[in-house]
Amino acid sequence: MRVLGIDPGIAIAGFGFIDKNGHKLTPVQYGAITTEAHTPQEQRLVQIYESAGALMDRYKPDSVAVEKLFFNRNVTTAFAVGQARGVIILAAAQRGLPVAEYTPLQVKQSVVGYGKAEKRQVQEMVKMFLKLSAIPKPDDVADALAVAICHAHSAVLTNKINEVTNR
């Protein structure tokens, strides 16, 4: 199963593709989609949409996992992140890909085992799970990989529940 994890943002949207085979998690590709601050908002959204779609076409995920927007004191930032999430979800939907959404608390709980874990703890666990030599940078990339790991763990549980329910 190949999962695309996304940490949405208007300036930086982190992405991470991982493969899950049994209990093994393997990084496939990860990085960031970036847009320039001086670019008009609508053009930044087009760049994110096109880049996300191109990544999905190239790496062919089975599903997409996106971090849910949590309340942000800066309403302007929250709206911009919400718009970035929207175009990424649209790109996935147009390709027929299922999209799962996880709160930061759910991601931390899944990756670290503690919902109030510090960012550094999450990053260290991402590095360990994926056997990386260093923590991916910028932070948005490590966050995207954490979302992908969370979904890989959740998808296994969901499949087992469905198997038991459908017997």
Q: Name the residue range of residue 116's domain.
A: 2-165
Is residue 140 part of the annotated active site? The answer reads yes
Total domain count, the chain? 1
Is 140 among the annotated ligand-binding positions? yes
Annotated catalytic residue: which of 19, 67, 118, 143?
67
How far from 134 is each of 12, 123, 129, 137, 164, CA to CA, in Å? Answer: 20, 9, 12, 9, 39
Is residue 118 part of the annotated active site? The answer reads no
Is 7 among the annotated ligand-binding positions? yes
Half-sphere CA count of 86, side-chain side, radius 13 A? 10
pTM: 0.91
> pLDDT tens across 29-81, in order?
999 999 999 999 999 999 999 999 999 999 999 999 999 977 666 777 888 89
Give the CATH number, domain containing residue 69.
Answer: 3.30.420.10
